Amino acid sequence: MPSRSAAGVRTGVRVVVSGDRGTGKSSLISAAASDAFPEYVPAVLPPTRLPSDFYPDGVPVTIVDTSSSMESRVKLIDELKRADAVVLTYACDQPMTLSRLSSFWLPELRKLEIKAPVIVVGCKLDLRDERQPMNLEQVMAPIMQQFREIETCIECSSATLIQVPDVFYYAQKAVLHPTAPLFDQEKQTLKPRCIRALKRIFMLCDHDMDGALSDAELNEFQVKCFNAPLQPAEIVGVKRVVQERIRGGVSDLGLTLEGFLFLHALFIEKGRLETTWAVLRKFGYNDELKLRDDILPVPTKHAPDQTVELTNEAIDFLRGIFRLYDSDNDGSLQPSEFDDIFVTAPESPWTVDPYVDAAERTPQGNLTINGFLSEWALMTTLDPSYCLANLICIGYGGDPTSALRVTRRRSVDRKKKQTEKNVFHCFVFGPKKSGKSALLNSFIGRPFSSNYTPTNDVRHVANAVEQIGGSQKTLILQEIPEDGVKKLLSNRECLAACDVAVFLYDSSDEYSWKRSRELLLDVARRGEESGYGVPCLLIAAKDDLDPFPMSLQNSARVTQQLGMEAPIPVGVKLRDSKSVFSRIVCAAEHPHLSIPETEKGKKRKRYRRLVNSSLMFVSVTVGAAVAVVGLAAYRAYAARKNT
């Protein structure tokens, strides 16, 4: 059974108990479940369930016993990999079993790449030799320093029931309220993603936006998260603790952001992680400190040839954000201004592929308004859920369902011979050294470079394209490496989200032309087979070089046969590529045109027409026959009636 609900909430915790033979694993489990020391315990217990009301969090715990024998190793590994938490046992009366934790068990968990938190448990506390007392903290400190996955250490006795229930309470707590996402044990500080989440929560609760939580705002925060108000004396006490420990944690207006962060760090240091987690979960965060899927109403039920776009309401919000953070009013965002926008998001989203260097920037490296909105359009196209999460994190206060819209099916657009889309996705095909990367770079204003660097992975760029009449559309160019075309076309729906396909070739190289033509035919066939045919354009790149003989004649003949436009000459080196992007958008705006037809496709279309006309002829013939038979029957009936 899954351990999470559809909303990502834990519905159960699976704890696997392992350790050396004879350390008291089975007795520990039996004593926890029955609250009594068992007289007889089998070698390995079946899975044991502690009901949901066993601990305050109301989540049931399933405890899995294991054997350390070599015969059971495969089963042990399988159970460890399925564990939410691992309890590692040693026997207090057998010091060798304690040393085995750091010499075998903990390294073994790392070798198996077990990511679950670990609870180290000393069993048989009642049997320890009183003449050899042990300070658990001193003994375990160096081990915990070496193995940060250890969450808690505890000693217990199944015979006397000392701290037996606490063992699995700590195991459950380590799963439901994990330390790792919140706190850096080595640096003893809150982790960056935790700080960002708490900053967002602070700003949401600071209704008057004065940089501090007043007594009323603190009280409202307390009621929202814990369903109980703070008494005036409690508020005074909280402020006093902060004032005594951190400078600037409290101002005349109330609890500052520094004080708010300090309080949560203090909760974690005191072992009260459930307090911070209760706050985070109330504001929609999951265990990775990202907004949960259940609060992101992203439209998921749509056809493959439909895409998701930002609504005008969301775009207006983003324009306002741009103006707000453009503090020097120079029409662009400096890196520091850009980082400030996403200070309340889990991370700055555009510092990694496919978003890094995907949009227009100034020569100084600043992000223009076109670049800013284009990055958002790209993120919406590729990952609508991620886009909506970031919108909410940076302060989008409208109804989340009003931020995104699903476009009409492209097959419908073809029939209507027009589209309502504002963002077009273009696949750029071509052989190596045909100029694909140069075309993408010119689209976002990058200078031409004569150094050849092959593109091995899919690359995206996006920018606004001004059309005749003043309208503006966003165009996304996706470079498809030549080596990746076969893998792409192996997916039947690969062209569903593509609005237009562009095929580049080096007009001075005959092989480049032939290879580009092959790619064009491959894509055309896939479009005909799948029903997702797309408008296609041929681009004769490197127009500044001398063309190979017969280039114009060959390309014109091929495009004419396929029912396409003649190749568009482009010289990126001469910076004359600007008009080609308008041509690409124009082709996307007319989804019924420029779709290449192969000979096989034409034959298939003629066959369908023949079948349809035959069916129509049969229908008309049958209809006429029925009419004749009906008339004859009526005449016979009328004659009989007269007689």
Which of 239, 256, 288 lies at the terminal end of a domain, its last residue?
A: 288
418, part of any domain: yes
Which of 112, 143, 175 lies at the terminal end of a domain, its last residue?
A: 175
Beta strands in 161-318 (DSSP E): 183-184, 189-190, 212-213, 250-251, 254-256, 308-310
pLDDT at 90 over 90: yes
Do 266 and 230 fall into the same domain?
Answer: yes
Q: Give the separation between CA 534 and CA 528, rounded to whole angstroms.
A: 9
Residue 120, beta-bridge partner list: 88, 153
| pLDDT recorded at residue 643 | 46
Residue 354, preceding bond cis, omega within 30 degrees? yes
Do 431 and 282 fall into the same domain?
Answer: no
pTM for this structure?
Answer: 0.84
pLDDT category at 166 given cuts 50, 70, 90 is very high
Do 560 and 618 fall into the same domain?
Answer: no
Residue 438's Cβ-count burial label (10 Å; 0-12, 13-18, 19+) is buried
pLDDT digits (tens, 9 = 90+) for 100-158: 999 999 999 999 999 999 999 999 999 988 777 778 888 898 999 899 899 999 999 99
339, part of any domain: yes
Do 390 and 464 fall into the same domain?
Answer: no
Phi-psi region of 185 (alpha: psi -120 to 50; beta: other; left: phi over 0): alpha
**135 or 309: whose pLDDT is higher?**
309
Do 210 and 144 fall into the same domain?
Answer: no
300, part of any domain: no
Would you list the DSSP string of 257-273?
HHHHHHHHHHHHHTT-H
605, part of any domain: no
Query: What does the buried/exposed string (b/e) look like for 454-479 if buried means 16 or more CB atoms within 10 Å of the residue's CB?
Result: ebeeebbbbbbbeeeeeeebbbbbbb
> Structural domain tally of the chain?
5
Q: Give the separation between CA 378 and CA 387, rounded to whole angstroms.
A: 9
Instruction: Say which CATH number the domain at 318 has.
Output: 1.10.238.10
390, part of any domain: yes
Cβ atoms within 10 Å of 284's Cβ, excluding its own: 19
- Average pLDDT over every residue of 500-529: 92
Q: Which of 265, 467, 302, 280 is nearest to 381 (CA)?
A: 302
pLDDT at 503 over 50: yes
299, part of any domain: no
Do 374 and 419 fall into the same domain?
Answer: no
Do 618 and 479 fall into the same domain?
Answer: no
4, part of any domain: no
Q: Dihedral sign, CA of 95, 99, 104, 109? A: positive
Do 397 and 432 fall into the same domain?
Answer: no
Instruction: Say which CATH number the domain at 93 has.
Output: 3.40.50.300
- Residue 420, classed as helix, strand or coil, is coil
Do 339 and 430 fall into the same domain?
Answer: no
Three-state SS sequence of 51-98: CHHHCCCCCCEEEEECCCCHHHHHHHHHHHHCCCEEEEEEECCCHHHH
Do 440 and 540 fall into the same domain?
Answer: yes
| pLDDT recorded at residue 1 | 47
| pLDDT recorded at residue 132 | 73
Do 402 and 424 fall into the same domain?
Answer: no
Instruction: Name the helix (H) or strand (E) containing 225.
Output: helix 215-226
557, part of any domain: yes
* List of residues 6+ apart from 274 with CB closer than 8 A: 57, 173, 176, 177
Which of 353, 379, 406 lies at the terminal end of a domain, its last residue?
A: 406
Cβ atoms within 10 Å of 607's Cβ, excluding its own: 10
Given a contact cutoff of 8 angstroms between Cβ atoms, the answer to whether 220 and 230 are in contact is no
Domain interval for residue 204: 187-288
Question: Both ends of the chain: CA-CA distance in Å?
Answer: 82
Do 381 and 527 fall into the same domain?
Answer: no
Type of residue at 457:
D
